[in-house]
Amino acid sequence: MTMRVLVTGAGGLLGRYVVRAFARAASVWAMRREDLDVRDRQQVERLVRELRPQVVINCAALSNVDLCEREPELAFQVNAEGPRHLAEACRAIEAELVHISTDYVFDGSKGAPYTIADPPHPINRYGASKWAGEEAVRRAWARHYIIRPARIFGLGGKNFASALPQLLRTQPLLRAIVDEVGSPTYAADLAARILEILARGRPGTYHVTNRGVCSWYEFACEVARHLGCDRVRIEPVRSADLERPARRPLYTELRCLLSEQLGLPPLRPWSLALRDFLEEVKRDESLC
Ligand SMILES: NC(=O)c1ccc[n+]([C@@H]2O[C@H](COP(=O)([O-])OP(=O)(O)OC[C@H]3O[C@@H](n4cnc5c(N)ncnc54)[C@H](OP(=O)(O)O)[C@@H]3O)[C@@H](O)[C@H]2O)c1
């Protein structure tokens, strides 16, 4: 029988890739924010009870880090209360819950790859709200898969990594941070890995990123090199030099002990995944 999957935040960057990946193998309800607001406990409960999905994948979030800093109450409602509502609704019908978290639960001071054994210590409100969301899920329902990616990039994303091809073509000068280092994650690779993790049937906390680390500056230079944007000046800046409401962790390489135990190979290097993303951007442009 075809698996029934409900995806929240389906209009977002990752949500769209997850819907596409799962639609090949499952019957998918793609819920955008206007279809399902995860802050509304009753709406979540009612919809999950009516549709009876076997798996719920929570891609809904307030993902703008500075907005979370300015509006912490909203951040906690979406990023902590929302997952709690979903976990309770999943428990009521015994559905599995995949909840997407972040590398920003860590403070970035370890100087070595973080594993799931490392205690989280968020340094901004986005990270704190996401950590609270993880804990709410763990408390509410055992059949959860908490996935921590980092620096997601993909077509249609509004974040820096996803917007780079467009920025590099339209701006004469781009400032990119040199001292925030992490592992970029192509949304297509992450969506495919979520499918593989679910197929193993082992609930728990997973770190999922493409292999290798880089700064935003290195990432931007690599995108520019591929696109042949040699007229754009990319200026390296330091994290502390930018006046932003939220602090960022400076080094968040992740290692996944659980994937290693289950024999799931590391994802391909980010630089290879980036080529596929840029091909996707080109195909998209040729359709316009
Ligand atoms: N982007 C990254 O670099 C990154 C890195 C690590 C982890 N993550 C995590 O990955 C997940 C997916 O992020 P993303 O990059 O796909 O973010 P995104 O593009 O901002 O997508 C999030 C989606 O959630 C929706 N949403 C917001 N509030 C909602 C609510 N109350 N109820 C239901 N839906 C709501 C948003 O709708 P509107 O757009 O209409 O508001 C948006 O479609 C999140 O859990 C995020 O924390 C992201």
pLDDT tens-digit readout, 78-111? 999 999 999 999 999 999 999 999 999 999 999 9
pLDDT, residue 288, reads: 60
The ligand 1 atom at the shortest distance from the C-alpha of residue 60 is 24
Average pLDDT on 118-132 reads 98
Average pLDDT on 6-30 reads 97
Q: What is the H or E stretch that residue 74 is in?
A: helix 72-76
pLDDT, residue 230, reads: 81
pLDDT, residue 285, reads: 82
Tokens of 60: 């809904």
pLDDT, residue 1, reads: 72
By percentage, how much of the chain surpasses pLDDT 90? 93
pTM: 0.97
Q: Is the pLDDT of residue 286 over 90?
A: no
Average pLDDT on 187-210 reads 97
* C-alpha–C-alpha distance, residues 251 and 183, integer Å: 9
Q: Is the pLDDT of residue 287 over 80?
A: no
Q: Residue 28 in 3-state DSSP? A: strand
Domains and CATH numbers, the chain: 3-157+185-211+253-269 (3.40.50.720)
DSSP strands (E only) in the chain: 3-8, 26-31, 55-58, 96-100, 144-148, 152-153, 173-177, 181-182, 185-186, 204-207, 214-215, 233-237
Distance 199 CA to ligand 1 centre (A): 24
Q: How confident is the model at residue 229 (pLDDT cuts 50, 70, 90)?
A: confident
Pocket of ligand 1 (CB under 6 A): 8-9, 11-15, 33, 36-39, 59-63, 78, 82, 100, 102, 130, 149-152, 157, 159
Distance 228 CA to ligand 1 centre (A): 31
* C-alpha–C-alpha distance, residues 102 and 129, integer Å: 10
pLDDT, residue 198, reads: 97
Hey, what's the torsion of the CAs at 69, 73, 76, 82, to 10 degrees?
-130
* C-alpha–C-alpha distance, residues 127 and 248, integer Å: 9
Pick the residue whose CA is nearest to atom 7 on ligand 1: 102
Distance 33 CA to ligand 1 centre (A): 10
Q: Is the pLDDT of residue 157 over 90?
A: yes
Closest by CA to 219, choosing from 163, 261, 144, is: 163
Average pLDDT on 5-27 reads 97
